[in-house]
Structure 1
């Protein structure tokens, strides 16, 4: 396993006025927009081509958002403190509030048919997307502890959920969200995960400064990157291709790893 770090620190910067507080989650949607949510109570949609923040591409939330996900058809989901907001084409179209649980993370199925919301109570609730609304049909599955992050595989076959109990659970969507595998290895809370484009692997990062690259069909087959970031925990993961993983951390560094399975 090799790591490539650009020593110069060269990068492309976004121009204009961006978020004014901590950005808690970012994803790229089908329109090649960077979708970000921040403790400044906004969700932004910023063109990756223009690389310029715009006041017209900002959606104000009622409450602080902490997680965002996207799907086809211009759909986005913002999980806020005590509230879940469905957005379409950069507009709020539906809000779930007065919840009897605290939502921590969410994911929209790539096909746009289902929204999964993970709670501090360890439950993952499944809502069906009907037009511009979310319908609660009383369906939920269990993680091993309070949910910290979650994502569907690119092909929509699996939903992976990380939790505070150091476990990653993968559910099989077509099999009524039955548990495919539980993945153990982290020594501290798992905080982030990302699916490989091959849909056969995913990476998880935790408070233990470690990154694991897992194989969906074999929980024992894994790559371990110990001390991926030695000064702080792993805060974000992204795949450039099926063999290239990027990790970020609060140590102010970005690392690129070449994986050999």
Structure 2
């Protein structure tokens, strides 16, 4: 059967993050992508200039339409925006029995906020218990827990354990916001895995979180176990970041190169 992954997220008009990044990552890794739009952003590589949330009713209708016809194998959740949309997504997914990758998108690469502060409680109560894999960066993990960002690997593992207690089966504590020559992502859950890579110097990192979580969902839709899907996704993202400077897109934080294995220089 065709492996189908569903992304539930916002649109990025600049094409580097959100729904657009997710569909590119699905395709690059051999999964068919379906999508449910939660919001439209007016966005480029420099800033988010406007956000229009879609109604909870149309979000729920999109989820129902996809599930009514497509044999979805895994779900990725990204930008949700407000508590009402969070509840609509939770209602649409409850009881679906599918692996869910939850990327708790809060702030764009430009620094613009994408999740209302009052929505964090709804995210914690409604969606964390449905998540197979939660993929926070260090500031997101801290905000969910009401704590300071983890300063070292020991604190990162402790925060991962605290997030597990809120319901997810696995937590991938991403280390991209840390400093130093080595970047370490820490997967905690039934097993512990450290994924280590050299830090790549580039401004073109827009959509890294979306891309990683979508790549994990693609693997789960293809029947991979969580550690295998996370390891492949981590390797894929490193390649996409390493090739990002081949692209000439915008004048701010440009996108990673989702199709680095297929086409490259001269774009």
Q: Which has the higher strand share?
A: 1
State the structure with more CA Rg.
Answer: 1
**Which protein has the bigger helix share?**
2
- Name the TM-score, length of structure 1 as normaliser: 0.37
Task: Report the TM-score when normalising by structure 2.
Answer: 0.37
